[in-house]
Amino acid sequence: MIEEVGTTAEGDLVINVGPQHPSTHGVLHLVITLNGETIKKVEPHLGYIHRSIEKMCESLSYRQFIYVTSRMDYLSSHINNHGCALCVEKGMQIEVPARAKVIRVLMDELTRLASHQLWWGAMAMDVGALTPFFHAFRERESINDIMEETCGARLTMNYMVPGGVMVDIHPNFQKRVKEFIQFFRGKIDEYDELVTGNVIFKSRMKGVGYLSPESAVSYGCTGPTARGSGVSCDVRKLYPYEVYGQLQFEEVTASGGDCFARYMVRMREMRQSLSIIEQLIDNIPEGEFQAKTKAVLKLPKGEFYSRVETARGEFGVYIISEGATTPYRIKFRSPGFSNLSALDHMARGHKIGDLVAIMGTLDLVIPDIDR
Amino acid sequence: MSKEELKIRLAELFPAAVFEEGAEWTTVAIDAAGWEGFAREVRRAEGLEFDYLFCVTAVDWKTHFTMVYHLTSTLYRHVLVVKAKLDHEQPVIRTVSDIWRTAEFHEREAYDLMGVVFTGHPDLRRLFMTDEWKGWPLRKDYEDPVNMIKL
């Protein structure tokens, strides 16, 4: 890989960005071919944090493997766990108690908020505004504190288990979430004032990194990346799981297809998440938080696929079972992997400075891509 | 299109296709040699239009490999699962990266971890492993005494 640095026969400059680069948000390595300042080709080199999680899962039981999945998309760990728990429940035909369903959705949406907050701060930092990063982390801290109180963890939650959630919510949970909503409603408006309307920010975002709806579908993009191109792909709406079908919320799409459209989708999604949390926080049903399940889970022979909407898009879990206590083969369809594959297509023809903005709006989490 | 309708339509188009019963989605097993033609047809045919390939999985069954393709249509929202059996000694199948661009990365992953070769692929190289890596880590017979994968 190293010998790829230098100039090509046509006189193009080949440079490396990463794997240790602040704007790649992790160990992503890009080999970029430049003509002057214009990008001719972007080639991602992956694997710097590949842990072969799929292979590991083949020797872990159906209760254990969920813990490993928190380490994939560490900003959506609740939602990763959720997808895995759903898949095991589908195979075992476990009925999840109503209380657990609502708690799960609440946790998912809080996770989505925390993830989008971090993205917003990092995104603004990528295009040269440092202040938003501190704002975002300040607000994200409140969510982490709420999570910590209930799950005991701040990043790798491992809270959702087959049959429900691991422990009941903390007595302070409802009170603190309500306080947070109150506090964060004002903050989103502040976010908009600080960044969204900024002229320099807009000029860095508008018309950059265009992705047509056809390309978004062909490249398998999901989540805010595809919805920024007007493709409706929200798993929560299309294939509702848990209580999403009974909730009032909009699937946020934008038609621009550029960085600014993707940015706006995430900003508006934060408000939708707040609204979902508001609808549920006073309506958590009483009862069990976990269904009674056997100590050792054995999925019947067959194939099970479940999908959930993480902060980055559609996360799929595909389990092939041979009737044993461990999966025969497990495949994680991670949203970041497909979204990244569109990067080359989006970046060609743009200046190298724009690449950072495009990557920012893809909201890449590298462990999710490498697995 | 409902699961049954989809099955009838596909049976008309591809008489050789074998359907698997009891699965969540319409599941069809096809001959690996006919995969390219099958893929082009389901992508194009009116009423099917499977434009979105959302998951590509290679499975090592010790005696053979199976490629599993999960397809859906953003227009009709029906799902189709296609399976193709490959030889264990020489697992080869035609690429579909020219039909669904997302396949380019997914197929590179399957090559890297399972050693499945995709003919016609524009850039078939290791994706996660280093270029000089030996062996195919996700295969069932893969042993690595240095890097712990099996727990």
Q: Could you tell me whether strands A329-333 and B52-60 are parallel, antiparallel, or unpaired per DSSP bridges?
A: unpaired
Phi and psi, residue A316, nearest 5° = -115, 145
- What span, in angstroms and rounded, lies between the C-alpha atoms of B138 and B61? 11
pLDDT at A4 over 60: no
pLDDT at A180 over 80: yes
Nearest residue on chain A to B100, alpha-carbon basis: A218
- What span, in angstroms and rounded, lies between the C-alpha atoms of A294 and A69? 22
What does the DSSP 8-state code read for residue B27?
E
- A59–B102 C-beta distance less than 8 A: no
Average pLDDT, integer, range A90-103: 89
pTM of the model: 0.87
- A220–B100 C-beta distance less than 8 A: yes
In this structure, is residue B141 part of a structural domain? Answer: no
In this structure, is residue B7 part of a structural domain? Answer: yes
What is the percentage of chain A residues whose pLDDT exceeds 70? 97
- What span, in angstroms and rounded, lies between the C-alpha atoms of B122 and B75? 28
CATH code at position B85? 3.30.460.80
In this structure, is residue B46 part of a structural domain? Answer: yes
| Tally of domains in chain A | 1
In this structure, is residue B58 part of a structural domain? Answer: yes
Spell out which residues of chain A touch residue B57, defining contact as CB-CB under 8 Å. Answer: 318, 329, 331
Spell out which residues of chain A touch residue B105, defining contact as CB-CB under 8 Å. Answer: 337-338, 340-341
- B60–A329 C-beta distance less than 8 A: yes
Using alpha carbons, select from B150, B115, B116 the residue that is nearest to residue B136.
B115
Report the residue of A27, A43, A45, A52 to disrupt the B interface, i.e. the one with the largest count of B CBs within 10 Å: A52
- B53–A47 C-beta distance less than 8 A: no
CATH code at position A293? 1.10.645.10
Task: Sort A351 into a burial class: Cβ within 10 Å, 0-12 / 13-18 / 19+.
Answer: middle
Average pLDDT, integer, range B119-137: 87
| Tally of domains in chain B | 1
- The boundaries of the domain holding residue A286 are 52-370
Q: Can you tell me the ipTM of this complex? A: 0.88
In this structure, is residue B57 part of a structural domain? Answer: yes
- What span, in angstroms and rounded, lies between the C-alpha atoms of A9 and A245? 57
In this structure, is residue B59 part of a structural domain? Answer: yes
Is the CB of B49 inside 8 Å of chain A's CB atoms? Answer: no
Nearest CB to B59 within list A46, A320, A340: A320
- Between A and B, how many CB-CB pairs are < 8 A? 92
pLDDT at A194 over 80: yes
- The boundaries of the domain holding residue B62 are 3-106
The full DSSP string for B44-83 is: HSTTT---EEEEEEEEE-SSEEEEEEEEE-TTT--EEEEE
Summarised one tens digit per residue, pLDDT across range A273-330 is: 999 999 988 888 888 888 888 888 888 888 899 999 998 899 999 999 988 888 899 9
Summarised one tens digit per residue, pLDDT across range A227-260 is: 999 888 888 888 888 888 888 888 888 888 888 9
Is the CB of B101 inside 8 Å of chain A's CB atoms? Answer: yes
In this structure, is residue B128 part of a structural domain? Answer: no
In this structure, is residue B122 part of a structural domain? Answer: no
